[in-house]
């Protein structure tokens, strides 16, 4: 599956259903409704690549849409039957793919706690960067992530940005030491909060 991409320096917008206008949208079934009245207040940054360390294929898309052939790669054995998703996936070239409308709950955080609150999926938006934890993220990814973050912060009352490792310490290590938090947060105009 080939995903088109427009420009690195775009102005993004999100509609009332929580869909980003500049993203390719591929619906993941791995989502459900947020608790009634829930406020979206947290962004969670992750990384993923499938197979691990390979960046050009579509296996993350297949994984998030429950179509991954788990016999294809030894690393996929543990993914059999795993149903996860994220709202957004930012590829190495900065292309943004959306899998879940922001208004819905994506299944990205797992068992998690943020400032005393459990089940971070309830109140967060998950953004996956295509990466493997040892290779730096690309300029295009930072550009897209910053634009996406500003767009989300303008649309939702987001108070905090955290890494998956911050909300699931000991269990998760992403986005890892290769993610340059300073570069990211210093690039943000509208949303510069990180606890």
Residue positions annotated with a catalytic role: 128
Give me the least distance between CB of 168 and Zn ion, in Å please.
8
Smaller CB distance to Zn ion: residue 6 or 136? 136
Residues that bind Zn ion (CB under 5 A): 46, 164, 174
Smaller CB distance to Zn ion: residue 5 or 89? 89
Return the HEC string of the chain.
CCCCCCCCCCCCCECCCCCECCCEECCCCCEEECCCCCCCCEEEEEEECCCCCCCCCCHHHHHHCCCCCCCCCHHHHHHCCCCCCCCEEECCCCCEEECCCCCEEECCCCCCEECCEECHHHHEEEEEEECCCCCCCCHHHHHHHHHHHHHHHHHCCCCEEEEHHHHCCCCCCCCCCCCCHHHHHHCCCCCCCCC
Give me the least distance between CB of 35 and Zn ion, in Å please.
21
Give me the least distance between CB of 109 and Zn ion, in Å please.
8
Smaller CB distance to Zn ion: residue 12 or 44? 44
């Amino acid at each position: 599956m080939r995903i088109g991409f427009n420009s690195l320096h775009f102005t993004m917008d999100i509609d009332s259903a929580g869909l980003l206008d500049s993203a390719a949208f591929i619906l993941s079934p791995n989502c459900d409704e947020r608790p009634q009245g829930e406020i979206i207040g947290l962004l969670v940054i992750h990384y993923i690549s499938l197979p691990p360390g390979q960046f050009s294929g579509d296996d993350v898309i297949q994984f998030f849409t429950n179509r991954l052939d788990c016999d294809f790669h030894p690393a996929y054995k543990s993914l059999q039957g795993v149903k996860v998703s994220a709202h957004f996936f930012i590829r190495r070239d900065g292309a943004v793919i959306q899998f879940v409308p922001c208004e819905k709950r994506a299944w990205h955080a797992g068992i998690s706690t943020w400032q005393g609150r459990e089940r971070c999926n309830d109140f967060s938006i998950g953004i996956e960067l295509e990466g493997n934890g040892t290779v730096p993220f690309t300029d295009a990814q930072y550009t897209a992530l910053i634009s996406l973050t500003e767009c989300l912060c303008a649309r939702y009352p987001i108070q905090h940005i955290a890494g998956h490792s911050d909300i699931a310490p000991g269990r998760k290590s992403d986005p890892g030491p290769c993610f340059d938090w300073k570069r990211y947060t210093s690039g943000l105009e509208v949303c510069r909060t990180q606890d």
